[in-house]
Amino acid sequence: MNTSLQHAFNLTDGKHDITITPIDSDIAVGSLSENGNYRLTEGELNLGDIQFDEEMDYWIYNGQTEFTRDELITIADYIKHQQNRAA
């Protein structure tokens, strides 16, 4: 399995150290998965998954965490930026 990334996000309710882990990352480039599926965790807490389309233009979040739309955009943009750096 490919390695995870951890990043400190400054969100509405404070700083969150979120770990981004590729899911089904048997096809991988750099430090993130090429298939566009990522699990978000903070410590032991599963925050949900974010799934991108092939071009990384659109994404879906399926978590139970009450992130705002802007917070999710921040997280998705970070993942997209890291994926582009790895390509």
What are the residue ranges spanned by the domains of the chain? Answer: 5-86
The pLDDT of residue 35 is 67
Residue 61 near residue 72 (C-beta atoms within 8 A): yes
Tens place of pLDDT for every residue, the chain, 87 residues?
367 899 999 999 999 999 999 886 454 455 444 568 899 999 999 999 999 987 888 899 998 888 999 999 999 999 998 887 776
Identify the pLDDT of residue 45.
93
What pLDDT is recorded for position 87? 65
